[in-house]
Amino acid sequence: MNILPLRTLPPITFTDDDFNIHDPDQEDPIVILATITNWQVHKILVDQGSSVDVLYWYTFLKLNIHMEMVKLYSDPLVGFVGERVYIRGFIDLLMTFGNGRAHRTQTMRYSLVEADTSYSVLIGRRTLNALGAIISTPHMAMKFLSK
């Protein structure tokens, strides 16, 4: 039996200074902005329940990325209630979170999905785990380790 070493992280805390909202009873999702391949992308949905990261097709087209970078793939994603959305392919792109000294740039793998949504990108557990990100829904904030 292989025993994997435990992952250790320094403490990440949230204080009253981290509150980004005015209404403490809000139920909004956490939406961030980040840089993907040198383009600032707004309306990135943070979805802790998603096992994949999704780059929506219309966002992909706006990023001016060559189609040759896309690895074709046509299996569906299956949602919570069994709905299916077909993936057009997947792509690995550099994504930068944060700014100034508190930033982190990593290569992320996105499933390319053509769907009607008000979001540009959806980041799920794969990206959150790669960043070591901690989410505080009361603060409407995400913190991660910068290197």
CA distance 139 to 137: 5
Q: What is the pLDDT of residue 75?
A: 81
Q: What is the pLDDT of residue 83?
A: 80
Contact 45, 31 (CB under 8 A): yes
In angstroms, the Cα distances linking 39 to 42, 55, 56, 93 are 10, 13, 15, 11
Architecture of the domain whose range is 30-143:
Beta Barrel (2.40)
CA distance 72 to 100: 35
Q: What is the residue-level pLDDT of the chain in tens, covering all 147 positions?
A: 677 777 777 888 899 888 877 666 777 889 999 999 989 999 999 999 999 999 999 999 999 999 999 999 878 788 767 788 889 999 999 999 988 888 999 999 999 998 889 999 999 999 999 998 999 988 888 998 776
Its pTM stands at: 0.85
Domain map of the chain by residue range?
A: 30-143
Q: What is the pLDDT of residue 116?
A: 87
Maximal C-alpha separation, the chain? 51
Contact 143, 102 (CB under 8 A): no
Q: Strand 76-78 to strand 54-56: parallel, antiparallel, or no bridges (unpaired)?
A: unpaired
Q: What is the pLDDT of residue 147?
A: 66
Contact 29, 45 (CB under 8 A): yes
